[in-house]
Amino acid sequence: MTDDANAPWLIVGLGNPGPDYAANRHNVGFMVADLLADRIGGRFKRAQKAQAQVVEGRMGAPGPDNRRVVLAKPMSYMNLSGGPVTALRDFYKVPTAHVVAIHDELDIDFGVLRLKIGGGDNGHNGLKSMTKAMGAEYHRLRFGIGRPPGRMQVADFVLKDFSSTERKELDYFVDRAADAVECLVTEGLERAQSAYNS
């Protein structure tokens, strides 16, 4: 598969399926994907070829920067995300460099965004599964959630809902993350990094 400028993009929000997890910190990728789906006027539907929900559409203003995109939410649970993502990548003929994973990140403060391509998984089970399935050379939008307070275990922290204080700002940061993804897809990584990496 070649990295073709006209190839579609696969934008993956990472999270866990089901209402019990919907507002968890670990599900911020789903939250950003849902907002992007609203923006392109689509509704998530069950994918035919993978254990995922997908929306197909276009991103960016009409013209040369308009891009075909597939938004996806794996329905396999976080630590098995690689299988559905790889199946979608192959079905839609997306180069790995056109895959974007949106995920929670413990090592940066709440609401801070970082865009990059490649790198390690930093202990994130969704990224670990994706990298094992297709290599590391995909884009990541890291959405900061901060470290757990006191002696709270990481697993407990990421599977808890955002705090009431965080929820006051969450919509703003999710909106900004969606902007960052649109900028990445339509204008490229360097432009998106300079605009949104804080």
Active site residue 139: no
Tokens of 170: 């969450």
Q: Beta strand 113-117 with 99-105: parallel, antiparallel or unpaired?
A: unpaired
Which residue shows structure tokens 């094992």?
Answer: 132
From the list 26, 98, 103, 139, the catalytic residue is 26
Q: Beta strand 113-117 with 45-46: parallel, antiparallel or unpaired?
A: unpaired
What does 7-73 look like in DSSP terms, one character per residue? Answer: S-EEEEE----SGGGTTBGGGHHHHHHHHHHHHTT---EE-SSSSEEEEEEEESSSSTT-EEEEEEE
Residues annotated as catalytic are 26
